[in-house]
Amino acid sequence: MKGSFKTLMMVLVLVLFVASLAAACAPAAPAAEEPAAEAPAAEEPAAEEPAAEEPAAEEPAAEEPAAEEPAAEEPVMEELDFVTWYQYDQNNDDPASDERTGNMYLAKTIPEYNEEFDGTWNWINIPKAWDKLNSELVAAVMAGGEVPDAIEMGANDLQKFYQNGALQDISEWAEAQEWWGDMDANAVAACTGPDGGLYCLPLSFRPAITYVWADHFPDGWPATPEQFLVEAERLKGEGVSAMTFFGSTQYDGTGAGRAVWSIISSYGGTYSDAEGNMVLNTPENVAGVEFIREIVAKGYVTEVTFAGGFQEEEAFKDASGASIPTGLYGYRYINPLTAPDGTVYDKGTSEDMLDAIADGQVTLEPMFAPEGNKPGCALDTVGFGVPVGALNVEGAYAYFNWLMSPDRNAEYTLGPGAGFPANTTTLDHPEMQVPFYQVAAGAVEASACRSYIGTLENPTEAKILIMNAVYKLIKEDPTLDIATELQAAEDEYNASN
């Protein structure tokens, strides 16, 4: 029994020992499991992955430049200044100004353009004196100074600009425009340089014609110089001068391209040959100068013809001068008017001449010419050039296309363009269906119109020499030999060109 009891006790002690051992181990189990209970903390890096990936979460901020692309493109979308040089001043509202037609045109169209292109282009015009504009541009280009984006110019000045590298060739752009196929070939040729490039966009071409008070020539405008002399003698007896014209040497001899050229070219004369040489001493030129000398000597021409400052226009305004050879654009300046019968046209605008023409008081005629010759006619083309160094060429192109739209083209032609539209489709515009253009078309069709500059590469020097010689022969000393003086001027030009 003792042995069994003893055995039982040993078993019991062993069980208690195991139980106590288990109890002793029990606290260790939770401690051993603490890492598992704290797994979330141990895995905090994973739980905080969004924070670790903050750069990715903040990609929109990192991509701010992309989100702000419109701001980066602001130079393209931002309104830019587009600058022109015109001989007109939009701020001059003086109704007596000679340039009121152009001034009024700019005052009207600049705000209209800026409203239409608001946010893209802001048109700014800087007025320039008409007889200084070209020289200022050449000087600015050569000095690398500020130049406009577009300049209104006459094609007769193209040679000067071309020689001085003042204008850009715009042919590639122009030929890609939808209106290019409608351009008058002669107008385009006038804007084409010696290298075949297009250095101005022609808007209007201005032939020279003769404005005539119809009542002073009841039998019609004379067709020949001989008939004119007969009518001039009759008018002289009535106290009227048969003609008034710009006979001054002012403005770098511009008179050489006005009435003087119309008469000389009607006699078959010219100022240049095919090689760019001046040609003055020819039988045709001598005959033309001789005729001008005769009508001056016989008192058939107004004295204000030689006064300068365009004073010759005053004689036509009051009808004391029966006719005035000038550019087609003359209607812009010659007003107000008093007709021979006393009718007054005194709006003080270009409408005065247009009204007088519509009433039949004034007619537009070709220059008279010797039998067998076609009347001569000076031809100038006005348009726009893009100077070398222009900051906003695209602004110039936008403006040109605006001017080529039907309504704007007609408006420009009837305003500062003052000629026939270079875009031939504009002739069909309702605004162009007026007596002025119908009458003018007949005079131009009867004339042989061409640029008096011809092939002369230094037109400024040429004009001065020609007009000085003519003035000397018809006004200063009519006893001088015409051929000798013309030859002297010719030799002087050719020696330096």
Each residue of 292-351: pLDDT tens digit? Answer: 999 999 999 999 999 999 999 999 999 999 999 999 888 888 999 999 999 999 998 889
Q: What average pLDDT score do residues 184-209 get?
A: 91
pLDDT level of residue 36 (50, 70, 90 thresholds): very low
* Residue of 218, 366, 229 whose CA lies nearest to 300: 229
Measured on CA atoms in the order 283, 284, 288, 289, is the torsion positive or negative?
Answer: negative
Q: In a 3-state reduction of DSSP, which class is residue 206?
A: strand
pLDDT by residue (tens digit) across 459-468?
Answer: 889 999 999 9
DSSP 273: -
Return the beta strands (E) in 7-120 as ranges: 80-86
Q: How large a percentage of the chain has pLDDT more than 90?
A: 67
pLDDT on residue 130: 86
pLDDT level of residue 163 (50, 70, 90 thresholds): confident
Bridge partners (DSSP) of residue 448 are 376
Residue 188: C-alpha distances to residues 30, 51, 99, 398, 446 (Å): 102, 70, 26, 19, 22
- For residues 200 and 151, is the Cβ–Cβ distance under 8 A? no
- For residues 469 and 397, is the Cβ–Cβ distance under 8 A? no
pLDDT by residue (tens digit) across 227-283?
Answer: 999 999 999 999 999 999 999 999 999 999 999 999 999 999 999 998 889 999 999
Q: Which helix (H) or strand (E) holds 6?
A: helix 2-25
Per-residue pLDDT at 362 exceeds 70: yes
pLDDT on residue 2: 41
- For residues 328 and 380, is the Cβ–Cβ distance under 8 A? no
Q: How far is CA 13 from the centre of its chain?
A: 122
Q: How many residues does the chain have?
A: 497
- Please state the pTM of the whole predicted model: 0.72
pLDDT level of residue 100 (50, 70, 90 thresholds): confident
Residue 243 CB partners (closer than 8 Å, separation 6+) = 232, 259, 295, 300, 301, 302, 305, 321, 322, 323, 324, 325
Q: Checking phi first, is residue 385 left (phi over 0); if not, alpha (psi -120 to 50) or beta? A: beta
Q: In a 3-state reduction of DSSP, which class is residue 272?
A: strand
Strand 121-127 with 362-365, pairing: unpaired
The DSSP string of 319-382 is TSBSEEEEEGGGGGTS-SEE-TTS-EE-SSSTHHHHHHHHTTSEEEEPPP--TTPPPEEEEEEE
Residue 59 CB partners (closer than 8 Å, separation 6+) = none
d(CA 453, CA 261): 10
Q: Which of 26-35, 98-107, 111-120, 380-389 has the lowest mean pLDDT?
A: 26-35
d(CA 225, CA 169): 43
pLDDT on residue 69: 55
Degrees, nearest 5: CA angle 47-50-51: 95
Q: What average pLDDT score do residues 365-392 get?
A: 95
Q: In a 3-state reduction of DSSP, which class is residue 386?
A: coil
pLDDT on residue 241: 98
Cα dihedral value 7, 9, 15, 21, nearest 10: -120
Per-residue pLDDT at 421 exceeds 50: yes
* Residue of 245, 254, 255, 282 whose CA lies nearest to 267: 282
- For residues 272 and 213, is the Cβ–Cβ distance under 8 A? no
Residue 422 CB partners (closer than 8 Å, separation 6+) = 183, 184, 187, 188, 202, 203, 204, 205, 381, 383
pLDDT on residue 353: 94
d(CA 74, CA 10): 98
d(CA 393, CA 342): 52
d(CA 333, CA 349): 8
* Residue of 218, 202, 186 whose CA lies nearest to 377: 186
d(CA 497, CA 482): 23
* Residue of 228, 271, 232, 300 whose CA lies nearest to 451: 271
Measured on CA atoms in the order 2, 5, 10, 16, is the torsion positive or negative?
Answer: negative
Residue 359 CB partners (closer than 8 Å, separation 6+) = 343
Crossing angle, helix 393-404 and helix 100-116, to 10 degrees?
Answer: 110
Mean pLDDT of the chain: 86
pLDDT winner (highest mean) among 82-86, 189-193, 438-442 = 82-86
pLDDT winner (highest mean) among 63-67, 90-94, 229-233 = 229-233
